[in-house]
Amino acid sequence: MLVVMRKDSPQESIDQVCECIRDRGFAPHVMPGEVRLAIGVTGNKGFVAIDNLEGIEGVLEVIHVTSPHKLVSREVHPEDSIVDVQGVKFGGPEVVVMAGPCAVESRDQVMEVARQVKRLGAKMLRGGAFKPRTSPYSFQGLKKEGLEILAEARKETGLPVVTEVMGTDDLDLVAEYADLLQIGARNMQNFMLLEAAGKTRKPVLLKRGMSATIKELLLAAEYIMSQGNYEVILCERGIRTFEDSTRNTLDLNAVPMMKQFSHLPVVVDPSHGIGIWSKVTPMARAAVAAGCDGLIVEVHNHPEKALSDGAQSLTPKNFGLLMTSVDRVAAAVDRTLLG
Ligand code: PEP
Ligand code: MN
């Protein structure tokens, strides 16, 4: 359910509407918009009449929301949402590029890559300190030390940091360092982690599970938003299919579909999507042409020595080529990248 109010409704009226919703045992979610203010109602089953709402100053109408992922859906918030990560805006005219190594391996590695990607136009630095690896014997990440290295790179370059949180136990620690919390494909349906991330006020980059449908991704985002954290960015990173010549199948159908169903920004990870460094740039171009709001790209100063995902990592030089080439596609679809 959704209570639609005038954009300039007095704060007292907004509080009064929220109070009426809480009195019925439901949760109000205030979502300001360009032309109206919406208050989403969660916790109800179907339409329920809440007495007196229509009589409150500023209330225009009360509508039934049919989507199962209400807060994520355009029914509740018709305009694109802008998620602001330390001044970097996702969902506006700019296509935001996040770049950096798969894993934080050393101070020198991160500093070098951070300086290079900044120079080449990236707006955020990526790098995993907690790494979800298929084998328990593979490099698991530098953990707290890795977070400290990322913080140092942020300090020097000014690039905000996106880094993965793997479990609820580490959430407070990772949130202390991250500007954008990454929830990875393997954790997309870790509902306890989603709820805990929803209780923080840190923006979340939610990656699609490798066997998850678009609807399941949207419902996972709803878990975060239902806890009052509305700063969610969706990420298509490739799904498992029968095709085995690439690491995953980058599902670019998901971009326009998610933009239709949801007001949240959508970013694409072409590195995990295809898994082959020489094919990352064409897929990045295709993702921008399909309408994504950002890219997350793996870059390593020595891909051949990388402790994880070297095969899909670009050298800084190749990342520079990606940027100039994707910039031209962005211009063709009325977006900006380097400008
Ligand atoms: C990553 O970004 O390095 C990563 C582990 O991504 P995903 O969760 O999409 O596999
Ligand atoms: Mn990786």
Task: Identify the residue whose C-alpha is closest to ligand 1 atom 9.
Answer: 185
Residues 234 and 91 in one domain: yes
Whether residue 74 lies inside any domain: the answer is: no
Question: Within the chain, which residues score under 50 in pLDDT?
Answer: none
Q: In the prediction, which pLDDT does 45 show?
A: 81
Q: Is residue 337 part of a domain?
A: no
Q: Residues near ligand 1 with C-beta < 6 Å?
A: 102, 128, 132, 184-186, 207, 237, 269, 272
Protein residue with its CA nearest to atom 8 in ligand 1? 184
Report the pLDDT value the prediction gives residue 285, as an integer from 0 to 100: 98
Residues 204 and 323 in one domain: yes
Any idea what the CATH number is for the domain that residue 148 is in? 3.20.20.70
Choice from 164, 211, 313 to test ligand 1 binding pocket (greatest atom count within 8 A of CB): 164
Q: Which residues contact 328 (CB under 8 A, 6 or more apart)?
A: none
Clarify whether residues 244 and 175 are in a common domain: yes
User: 184: CA distance to ligand 1 center in Å?
Assistant: 5
Q: Is the pTM of this model over 0.85?
A: yes
Q: Is residue 339 part of a domain?
A: no
Is 77 within a domain? Answer: no
21 and 105 fall within a common domain: no
Kindly report the CATH number assigned to the domain that includes residue 20.
3.30.70.1140
Mean of pLDDT over the chain: 96
Closest ligand by atom to 186 CA: 1
Indicate the residue type of 172. D
> How does DSSP assign 270-298, residue by residue?
HHHHH--GGGHHHHHHHHHHTT-SEEEEE
Q: Per the structure, how many domains does the chain have?
A: 2
The residue among 12, 31, 63 that closes a domain is 63
Helices 144-157 and 107-119 pack at an angle, to 10 degrees, of 30
Instruction: State in Å: Cα 169 to ligand 1 middle.
Output: 19
pLDDT at 49 (0 to 100): 81
> Is 76 within the bounds of a domain?
no
- Give distance in angstroms: CA of 213 to centre of ligand 1: 17
In a domain, 135, yes or no: yes
Residue closest to 265 by CA, chosen among 239, 237, 235: 235
Residues 53 and 145 in one domain: no
CA 255, 232, 318, 141 torsion-angle sign = negative
Q: 12: CA distance to ligand 1 center in Å?
A: 44
Q: Which of 272, 280, 307, 309 to mutate to test the pocket of ligand 1 (most atoms within 8 A of CB)?
A: 272
Ligand 1: centre distance to CA 306 (Å): 15
Ligand 2 centre and the CA of 40: distance in Å?
A: 36
159 with 52, same domain: the answer is no
Atom of ligand 1 nearest to the CA of 238: 9
SS3 category, 164: strand
Same-domain pairing of 155 and 223: yes
User: What is the span of the domain harbouring residue 132?
Assistant: 83-332
What is the tens place of the pLDDT at every residue in 45-96?
877 788 788 899 999 999 888 888 899 999 999 999 999 999 999 999 999 9
Q: Is 92 exposed, middle or buried (0-12, 13-18, 19+ CB in 10 A)?
A: middle
pLDDT at 34: 85
